[in-house]
Amino acid sequence: MKKEQKGALIEELAEKLSSAGCFYVTDSSTLPVADINAFRRLCFERGLDVQVAKNALIKKALDKIEGLDYDPKLLDALKGPTTLIFSETGNLPAKVIKEYRGKEKEKPFIKAAYIDGAIFFGDDSLEALVNLKSKADLIGEIIGLLQSPAKNVVSALKSGGQTIAGIIKTLSEKEG
């Protein structure tokens, strides 16, 4: 690969790494070609971008991104064959990997995952990554929690008004 091509690839990787909300560093090297194609197809269907790149180019792209705060241990994950998976949703790549693996497969193997500044290391973090909630889910839960006390107050006022009206009616009937 010529120097100009490497420079263009580094720029492309830097753009993808900085614009994606998260990226996974995986290893799918021992999968047969048919399985790799099936995995890529599944990722494409779910809106994930998959790219195989050399570790040296990924490191240069990470260094090129200003403001990207990552643990230097992330660079340790860049050893051996590397496949990057880019996504806007933190748990989607983990869900796709888990679905693809089913019960039989061990690959693709998660080396690391960068999600909004948090870094997860190793394949044993797959379950934690699958169970992560998206930003939209968390915002929805917070809004629900904030609305809950207001709904309780309104409900109490409504039921309290009916109770008071009932008491007044009962007292007026006793007096009459």
Q: What is the pTM of this model?
A: 0.75
Structure-block tokens of residue 21: 């909300």
- pLDDT attached to residue 155: 67
- pLDDT attached to residue 56: 92
Contact predicate 17/23, CB 8 Å: yes
Q: For residue 73, list its beta bridge partners.
A: none
Distance CA 52, CA 24 (A): 12
**CA–centroid distance for 1 within its chain:** 33
C-beta atoms surrounding 77 within 10 Å? 22
Q: What is the per-residue burial (b if ≥16 Cβ within 10 Å, else e) of 149-160?
A: eeeeeeeeeeee
SS (H, E, C) 54-103: CHHHHHHHHHHCCCCCCCCHHHHCCCCCCEEEEECCCCHHHHHHHHHHCC
Mean pLDDT along residues 85-98: 92
pLDDT tens digit string along 29-70?
888 898 899 999 999 999 999 999 999 999 999 888 877 767
Higher pLDDT, 155 or 14: 14
